[in-house]
Structure formats: structure tokens, C-alpha cells
Amino acid sequence: MYFFLYEEEFGPFFCEECPVPHLYFGWAVSKEMLGRIGLNCPCLVGLMVCANGPEPLDEELIRIAERCKSLTAIGLGECEVTCSGFVEFVKMCGGRLTQLSIMEEVLIPDDSYNMEQIHGEVSKHLGRLWLPDMMPTW
């Protein structure tokens, strides 16, 4: 399911359980909407969020990891998540995450992890080498 909607147009979506397997948000999506996805989309397999805003998505990602047991792919573009929140998300999903595409700029260092530590910790929980995607500096 592809969404290219403005914030005010999301109102009727994901207010109750929805058996959608793949979601792609081409424009900004709110924390509230992502929270509703975590609560109401238990069959979710793939999630792509192109943009969110200046608030970390830790709680929303953790809720998605808790409730969406089939999630195998996630991509985050212009969003923010703390390093410890991201590690917690990956711990909960573990090796079932076959596709994990996160831009380096998304990750916010915190008291638990910095940018040098996070790839090792995430790799450990995935069971394979993982590095954040990097924006080319042309």
C-alpha cells in the first residue's frame, strides 16, 4: 500500500486492525500514524518511511517490533531514532529482519551508544554484518 498523503488526510487509516503486509509512506508520516500502525497492522511484513520529523520514533518502532511479528524489512529515510531505541528495535526483531535500510543521519547518538558502537551492536543482534546507509558527499 503506497501513501502520498498530507497529514490531515491520514485520519481514517489504521484506526482498527488492518491486514496490510506492506506500507510505503512517500511523504511525511506522523508519530501518531506510526503508533497506530504498530497497534493495528499485525500482518505487516515491510515498512518504508521516507520522512517523519524532528522527534525520535523510538516508541513507535518498539511497538511495531512488539506487535508486527512478521516484519522482515524496514527502511527509514528522513526520520530520527536514538541509537539505543534502534538497538532495542533490532533486538526485538532479531534475525528475521532480512532488509534493514537506515540512513546514518537517522541515528541519534545517546548515553548508551555512539555512531562507532552501533553497527557492532546491531550486527550482533542481526547475526550478520550491518552498517547504516550513507549519503554520498558529492
Neighbour tally for 1: CB within 10 Å: 11
Whole-model pTM: value is: 0.87
Q: What share of the chain is helix, strand, coil (3-state, %, to 5)?
A: 40, 20, 40
Neighbour tally for 11: CB within 10 Å: 10
Report how far residue 49's alpha carbon sits from residue 124's, in angstroms, rounded to the nearest whole number: 24
Q: How confident is the model at residue 46 (pLDDT cuts 50, 70, 90)?
A: very high
Neighbour tally for 107: CB within 10 Å: 25
User: pLDDT tens digits, residue range 6-30?
Assistant: 566 656 666 677 788 998 887 778 8
